Structures are given as C-alpha cells and as structure tokens.
Amino acid sequence: MNDADRERLRRLLASFDDDALTALANKGLVRRAHKDLDSGGVSHEEEEAAVSVHGDGWSVRMPPGGPAEATDDSRANGVTRHVLAATIHLRRHWLGQEEPAPGTAGTDVHQAPHDETAVAKRLRERLLAIPPERIERWAGRHALREAAAIVAAGGWTVAEAGSLKVRFEEQDVDTVLIEAPVRGGASALLGSILTTAPQTLKRKWAAAMVAAVWSDAGKQWAAGDTTPKRRRADAADARAVLASATRAIETLLEIGLAHPSGASVERLFTLSVSARANQLPRLARLMRAAADQLSLIHLRDAQGDPAELLTLLAHAHALAEAIGRAGDSAPAWLVGQARSEYSHTGDLELVGVGAYPWRTASGYEGVTVLFWDRRRERFFSGSDSRLADGPGRFSPAQAYRGEPVWRGGASPGEMSRSVFVLRGARWNDAGRLSSSSASRVEGVAPAAPDEIDYGAAGFERWEDLRRYARGAYPLGLRVVEPTRLLAVARPTEWGPRYFDETRQQFVWELVDSDGASLKLSCVWSEASADLIEFLEAVKPHREKLAAVVLRIVIDDDLLRFEPVSLLATEGHRVLNPAFDRKLIQSLQSKLLDRLREKFGRGRVSTVLEADGDELSFGGGAIDATPAIQRAFADVDRHLIHIAESGARAAALAREDELQRVTAALRRLGLDEMSDSVAALGDRPVSAAAVLYCEYLRNLHVSATRTLMV
C-alpha cells in the first residue's frame, strides 16, 4: 500500500475498538472473534492494495477503507466474525509496534501517524454544520423528538480520539463516527454513524449523537417541537411504560425463551429506553440487561443463558408491578436513581482509606478510591475509568498514579491515604462522588485511618460483622448502597494464608478477640495476580497492620469478604494490595508461579467488578441442607422447562410430581413458595404465575444464603 492508504487504514483501525465493532456487527460476533484469536495461528501480510490476514481455515482482505469494506473467503454477507477477528488482530499486531526493549522508546499500540484530535474536530464540525430540519427529514420527527429527550436527560459524554464518539451511559449505547464519506452530503454523513443499538433504531440514536454534539458545543437547536428540553416524567406516561413492560415480559414467557425473534429483542430494548426517558432508571437497567441476554440467545451465542434471562425478567416484572401499585407514592429507592445524577452538594471532610481496580463485563476498567466521612459516618467513592480497548492506553495502575481527580488534589493513589476537605462536592445516593471541575481540594495532609472510629461499619467481633453482612445483603426488590457493602475489620491475630483449590481462591484467616475466624478471600485470575502476590508477601508485624478495609461480595456462591486495603499504625498508613507491591519488603515466594502454572496465564480477564451491580441476584447453587437443595433444584427445573417451551405450549408437569415438590416445600415451612409451585399445574399455565414463582425462588435462595454467612 502507498503511504496515504496505509495512514488511512491505521487511523480507521485505531478507531475500531470493541464498541465500534459491536456497532458494525453485534456483540455476539465480537465475542466469537475474540475466541477465534485465542486459538492462535493468525498471521498477516501487507500487499499492494490491502493487508491480508490468515487464520485457521479463513482469510480476510483488509483494504484502506477498513473493516466496513473488508471481505473474507466465506459466502457470508456483511461484516463476518472473521472480518472482526482480522480487525482485532491488526489493531494488536500491525497497527503499532511490539513491546519496546528496556531503555528504548516504543510506539503506543493505538498510535497512528496522524493528528487524531484534528480528525475528530473535523468530524465534529461536519455534524455541527447539519441544520436540525435536515436531521428531522432524515430521521423523522418522532425519532428526533425522542433523541432530543435522551440528550436533555443527560448522562452522556463526548470523546474525541481519532474518531468522534458519544456514549449514553444509562442506556448503555455507544455511537461512533469514524470517517466522513467523500460523497453524499448530510444523509450520507448521518448514515455513516455507527451505533450499538439495534439497527431498527439507528436513525434515532444517530440523531441523538448529533444532538449531544450540538449540546456539548453550547449550540441551541431551532425552536419548535424538536427543541430538547428536560421535562418531568408524566405520571400517565410512566404508568404506560410500566404496563407495557409487564405485558411484554408476560408475552415473551408465553411464547418461550428458547427461540426468540429479533422483534422481541428490539421490544425489550425500546422499553429500556422508554423507562429511562420516564425516569424509571432501575427498570431501564433491568430491561436493557434482559434485552442483551435475549439477543445472545437469539444469535445462538454460547453465553446466552435462559435461566439468567428468566431471573432478569422475573425481577423486572416484580419491580414494574411494585412501582405500579405504589403509584405516585413509590419511594425513591424503588424507582432508582440515574448513576450520573448527583443530587447532593456541599463540603465534605474526607479521609482516604483505600483504592482498588475493577473491570466490567462491558469492557470498561478503572480505579475506585474509597473515603470515610467522619461527620456523616459513611463511605464515599470516587472513580476514574475508560474503555479498556479504546484509543490510547489506559490502565488502572497508571490512573492510580496519574492525574488528580479534583482541582488542588493529588493522584488517586495519594488521595487514598490523605485527609482533606472537598469543597463544592457533588454526590449521588450511592455515595459516588462527581469528578466535576467545580469541586476543589483543600488542606491535604497524611491520613491516619487506623485511628478512626468507623461507627456501624467498624468491627472487632466477627459475629457482629456477619450480622452486618446479612443485613446488607439485598433481598427481593431492596437495593443497598454499594458503600454499605464496605466495612473495617480489626483482627486480634493475622492468621494463616493458603490457596483453596476447590474454589480457586486465595484465603487469609483473621482471628478476633473471641477466637473466631474470618476468611478474607480473593478469586484467582491473572488480573488479580498483583493483589494476591501482595497479600501473600506482606508481613503484618513488620508493616504494623492494624485493620483491613473489606468488601462484602455477592457472587454465585455464598457471601464472602474481599480485602480492599490494609491500615497500618506506622509507615504507609494505607496499603492498597492491588497497586502497592513495591511499598513492602520483597519476600521470596512460589505461590504466584504455582497458580499461573496450575490455572494458566490470562484465562480470566476480570478482577474486582465495579461497585453497584444490582443485576446480580444470587440465584445459583447454594450450600444448604440436602432437602432445601433438592426442593429448589426441582422448582428451578420446572420453571426453566416452562420458560423455554413457553407457557402456552409447555407440557404440564405430572400431577404427582408437582404434589411431591409442593409437599416437600410445605414440610420445610415454605408455604408461599409451595402455593406458587402448585399454581404451575393450572391449565393454561399463567406467565405471571411463572414469573412470580421464579421471583419467590430467588428470594428464598438469597434468604437462605444470608443465614449461612
């Protein structure tokens, strides 16, 4: 290729992160493409007019026009998973250089020989030049009105790095403009916008991207019906959304989850957007999660899970029913709050108590710093995050030692062990602090968090901690603030450390004044290697450890306690295991090498998840008595059978089988659960009864777990 074509291809590849590829194809194909690359054996060669990529049984020709114009040797139409795999491969191995040798300067793997800011600026200017009436003719008045409402509601960000990207956080939708077409005018430009939303909704989200760019530039739309204005959700509209969500979920259960249609996916997605627009953020998140799971099943993706989808639908159905019955008096915790909505302001006197990295399943990674407010006696958190595979390099470790979050402050790492006053602070109900430029830091000084009284969140007896954990566990529709899942434990003795082969967890036992043992645990993954290495190497007496800040983690097993930071009486008063390995004396250890040898390098890509995931209901297997296990397993089996087949067509369970299950539940004292299972024997089977039974099953499984902490 000539220099001009090579530069164009490099720029396009630098802009095609996983979100852009998802917009070009779909999430399932992107995941399959990553799996194809994991098997290895992929190579590339530059030719006169393209770059050829060869894999095991496939080849792709990548022209200067990038993935949208690439072709493979299959008969499939459009952007195939092999084209996606070739794009990812070239981003990793052709776009930049390999890792530089020590002492030499290297090229960023996402760096291309052009001015990325200038390219994004030109794209922005092209969008700003399109008049609103022209967008209305292209998208339609109704779509433009919906787009304007989405932008007016906030919760979106504009990013410029080789491409122009707008992310709508609450709806979990990304829109990307990578390259402006040479011909075609405004229609062609709008048509070249990529979006992760279903293709049937592309015009609305493309219009939303343009509206966001206009708003970000401080420009006002022309007066009229399309002027974006923030409005309070009309009560009648909210009731209509709740009724529509209930009907859609029940209809889906009547038809069955095994073979969903594309229209069903779009219906759930549209309802998630409608719920967000009508200020029903909790329902919006649940409907979006259900739409994503249904899409995986529709695409026959191996990660599609009807059981998980049934749980999501049952929870969304119960939530919609509860909000509808409460009417105008529905409490704020039930309706929820947008994550980007910071409704509280004031000055905060904060003490840094730790920091930890995280990565979400959607591909975002970051670092969260924890603070304690002595006056309010509660935790706060502040985070910095980026798309993991986005343009430019970002890593939690770099962010930990990087730029200040607020004016007048220091790096997140320094703030995690400092005491200071945050003037003009803004925070939401979940305790998340805004990184607004209007906030500023004053009076920074070294903290002594080991000397603080943490009130209801501080524990010296593990029985009290376990009681606190049981109270923090979210049952049913109840939502717990993520910061309520934090606690400080002060052990009398730092006990043994070992690796639990069965659960694949590093375990550290702590002993309290009563001689009781508390197990801190950290799930092994390559990403958690630094954290485990620190915990295995640290010497409590040498580092003068006095306490540990921990998170109460809810996963597919029982509740467990995960260490976030260690508090000491001398030296570095806050030690963050995920980042501070160099702050403690080195200890020769073979543990990490043994773990890597046993479980492989990089098999698990996640470390700590971002806090506040209310979509985890803990409905999996439990450690309980055999009778309870058998009863819940039987109920689960019946529910999955009905849900996959559809309530209309599902073969009824044998009457004697249902009687056996209901009798077993009644003997266990689970009368309401027993009645709900008995209702599955009605003719015809009610979809609402199936959803209620699944909700009750999850509720009972969660309650059983709390009793076993």
Per residue in 571-603, pLDDT (tens digit) is: 889 999 999 988 885 444 555 555 555 554 433
Determine, yes or no, domain membership for 100: no
Tokens of 137: 């003719």
Q: Encode pLDDT of 620-661 as tens digits.
A: 545 557 888 888 888 988 899 888 888 877 665 567 788 888
Q: Read off the pLDDT band of 230 (50, 70, 90).
A: very low
Question: Do 10 and 134 lie in a common domain?
Answer: no
We report the CATH number of the domain holding residue 18 as 3.30.310
Average pLDDT score over residue span 54-73: 87
CA angle 620, 673, 655 (to 5 degrees): 100
Question: Do 178 and 278 lie in a common domain?
Answer: no
Question: Do 30 and 131 lie in a common domain?
Answer: no
Q: Read off the pLDDT band of 223 (50, 70, 90).
A: very low
Q: Read off the pLDDT band of 133 (50, 70, 90).
A: confident
For the cut 70, the answer to whether the pLDDT of residue 343 exceeds it is no
Output the average pLDDT for the chain: 81
Rounded-to-integer distance, Cα 469 and Cα 465, Å: 6
Q: Which helix (H) or strand (E) is 93 found in, with range?
A: helix 81-93
Question: Do 331 and 348 lie in a common domain?
Answer: no
pLDDT for the residue 397: 85
For residue 29, what are the domain limits? Answer: 3-93
Residue that the structure tokens 């990295």 belong to:
357
Q: Read off the pLDDT band of 605 (50, 70, 90).
A: very low
Lowest mean pLDDT, pick from 113-122, 330-339, 695-704: 113-122
Burial of residue 675 (CB within 10 Å: 0-12, 13-18, 19+) is middle
Q: What percent of the chain has pLDDT over 90?
A: 31
Question: Do 493 and 361 lie in a common domain?
Answer: no
pLDDT for the residue 69: 84
Q: Read off the pLDDT band of 226 (50, 70, 90).
A: very low
157 against 75, higher pLDDT? 157
Please state whether the predicted TM-score (pTM) of the whole model is above 0.75: no
Average pLDDT score over residue span 400-413: 88
Question: Do 510 and 635 lie in a common domain?
Answer: no
Q: Which helix (H) or strand (E) is 245 found in, with range?
A: helix 235-255
Q: Which helix (H) or strand (E) is 386 found in, with range?
A: strand 378-387
Question: Do 460 and 593 lie in a common domain?
Answer: yes
Q: Encode pLDDT of 673-694 as tens digits.
A: 999 998 888 878 899 999 999 9
Across the strands, what pairs with 118? none
Q: Encode pLDDT of 248-307 as tens digits.
A: 999 999 999 988 888 899 899 999 988 988 889 899 989 998 998 998 898 888 778 899
Determine, yes or no, domain membership for 419: yes
Question: Do 327 and 434 lie in a common domain?
Answer: no
pLDDT for the residue 511: 97
Q: Encode pLDDT of 345-366 as tens digits.
A: 789 999 999 999 987 655 677 8
Report the amino acid identity of residue 61.
Answer: R
Final residue before a domain boundary, out of 421, 442, 463: 442
Tell me which residue of 87, 103, 71, 75 sits closest to 22, measured CA to CA.
Answer: 87
Final residue before a domain boundary, out of 303, 335, 367: 335
32 against 533, higher pLDDT? 533
Question: Do 582 and 466 lie in a common domain?
Answer: yes
Rounded-to-integer distance, Cα 420 and Cα 371, Å: 10
Question: Do 478 and 567 lie in a common domain?
Answer: yes
Final residue before a domain boundary, out of 316, 335, 354: 335
Burial of residue 374 (CB within 10 Å: 0-12, 13-18, 19+) is middle
Tell me which residue of 216, 197, 246, 96 sits closest to 151, measured CA to CA.
Answer: 216
Average pLDDT score over residue span 78-90: 85
Ranges of H-type helices in 620-686: 626-645, 655-667, 671-678
Phi, psi of 567 (to 5 degrees): -105, 130
Tell me which residue of 328, 327, 322, 247 sits closest to 282, measured CA to CA.
Answer: 322
CA distances from 561 to 20, 231, 485, 637 (A): 37, 43, 10, 31
Rounded-to-integer distance, Cα 555 and Cα 508, Å: 18
Average pLDDT score over residue span 305-328: 93
CA distances from 15 to 10, 50, 360 (A): 9, 18, 21
For the cut 80, the answer to whether the pLDDT of residue 324 exceeds it is yes
pLDDT for the residue 65: 85
What SS3 state is found at 685? Answer: coil
> Which range has the top average pLDDT, 81-85, 173-177, 252-256, 627-631?
252-256
Q: Encode pLDDT of 353-399 as tens digits.
A: 999 998 765 567 789 999 999 888 999 999 887 765 554 556 788 88
Rounded-to-integer distance, Cα 607 and Cα 347, Å: 33
Question: Do 478 and 587 lie in a common domain?
Answer: yes
Question: Do 657 and 690 lie in a common domain?
Answer: yes
Q: How many domains does the chain have?
A: 6
Determine, yes or no, domain membership for 225: no
Determine, yes or no, domain membership for 498: yes
The b/e string for 508-524 (b: 16+ C-beta within 10 A; e otherwise) is bbbbbeeeeebebbbbb
Tokens of 426: 């803004």
pLDDT for the residue 603: 36
